[in-house]
């Protein structure tokens, strides 16, 4: 175990040395042209959706220094944007990343209208996005107006405004009501369905979050119906489509074939044993071409 702990990160960093890869396909959000693949932040924050041991492993791996190296590798691979959550936890790596000359754009995911101005001033993102779990909860509680207020606050601060959700009905409602959102973040799995479907409790051990097989078809149908750009996330099912590189490729293929050409994907990566950055960039280069 000691040898693995020592060699794992080193291999990941060495594997991502710059090789001048071809540019990634790009899409437009507002005035910004960004790569169709966006680097997510769940692994950086220790959210594995695979249990506490995996969570701890991710947290131990992603020190601020290693996170900077990871995002530099992403940028060298052609990924131009990083979506982060929680400014307090992101600043320890965002600051040194910028100090080292990174040109990456940032998308900030969080909730609470009263916190928008502070987050924009501290992290200088191109966009603020209302957190998906909070969106689902507020809609279920009849408080959708709080999400709309967040969108307005983001625009008041001069940045793009997005809404994230796991529940496809939330995305559809925002679009149908004509909110002034610039884009959506759309989870491929309805992980918050218990907020809406309060069925009788089943006497069984907790199995974690519900990754239902057909959820991604439901969400991508909504994605194709809305006019705004969408960023699909959890396209790999938080590791459930990662048994080998063939299944990873198939998941990228499904995503790009079922979203609009103006849409992108957000993918969290954990390059401990394998250069996921280069692999995912290549899948995007190959499968995410736009006309």
Range ranked top by mean pLDDT from 7-11, 12-16, 21-25, 65-69: 65-69
- Prediction pTM value: 0.88
- Helix runs in the chain, H state only: 2-15, 42-45, 52-61, 64-76, 87-99, 116-123, 132-140, 144-156, 168-176, 215-225, 245-258, 276-287
Sign of CA dihedral 252, 254, 257, 259: negative
Q: 98-107, 111-120, 128-137, 204-213: lowest mean pLDDT where? A: 204-213
Report all structural domains of the chain as residue ranges with CATH numbers, in order of start: 2-191+215-287 (3.20.20.100)
Question: Among residues 192, 201, 200, 184, which one has the least CA distance to residue 264?
Answer: 184
Mean pLDDT: which of 56-60, 76-80, 188-192, 196-200 is highest?
A: 76-80
What's the average model confidence in pLDDT over 139-154?
97
230 pLDDT higher than 60: yes
Counting other chains too, the contacts that 145-153 makes at CB distance below 8 Å and 24 or more residues apart are: 146/113, 147/174, 148/179, 149/113, 150/111, 150/112, 150/113, 150/116, 151/179, 151/180, 151/181, 152/180, 153/113, 153/116, 153/117, 153/128
Contact 84, 107 (CB under 8 A): yes
- pLDDT score of 54: 82
Whole-angstrom CA distances from 127 to 102, 107, 285 are 18, 5, 24
Could you tell me the pLDDT band of residue 10, with boundaries at 50, 70 and 90? very low
């Amino acid at each position: 175990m000691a040898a693995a702990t020592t060699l794992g990160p080193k291999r990941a960093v060495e594997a991502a040395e710059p090789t001048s890869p071809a540019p990634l396909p790009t899409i437009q959000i507002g005035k910004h042209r960004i790569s169709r693949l966006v680097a997510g932040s769940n692994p950086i924050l220790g959210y594995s959706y695979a249990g506490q041991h995996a969570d701890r492993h991710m947290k131990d791996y992603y020190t601020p220094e290693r996170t900077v190296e990871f995002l530099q590798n992403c940028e060298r691979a052609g990924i131009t944007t990083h979506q982060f959550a929680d400014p307090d936890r992101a600043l320890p790596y965002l600051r040194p990343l910028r100090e080292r000359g990174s040109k990456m754009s940032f998308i900030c995911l969080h909730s609470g209208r009263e916190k928008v101005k502070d987050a924009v001033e501290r992290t200088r993102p191109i966009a603020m996005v209302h957190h998906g779990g909070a969106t689902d909860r507020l809609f279920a509680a009849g408080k959708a107006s709080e999400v709309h207020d967040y969108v307005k606050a983001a625009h008041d601060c001069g940045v793009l405004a997005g809404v994230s959700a796991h529940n496809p009905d939330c995305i559809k409602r925002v679009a149908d009501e004509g909110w002034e959102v610039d884009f959506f973040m759309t989870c491929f799995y309805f992980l918050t369905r218990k907020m809406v479907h309060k069925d009788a409790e089943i006497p069984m051990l907790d199995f974690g979050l519900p990754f239902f097989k057909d959820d991604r078809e439901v969400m991508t149908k909504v994605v194709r119906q809305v006019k705004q750009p969408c960023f699909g996330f959890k396209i790999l099912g938080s590791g459930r489509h990662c048994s080998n590189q063939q299944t990873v490729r198939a998941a990228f293929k499904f995503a790009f074939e079922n979203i609009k050409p103006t849409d992108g994907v957000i993918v969290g990566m954990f390059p401990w044993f394998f250069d996921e950055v280069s692999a995912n960039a290549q899948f995007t280069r190959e499968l995410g071409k736009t006309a």
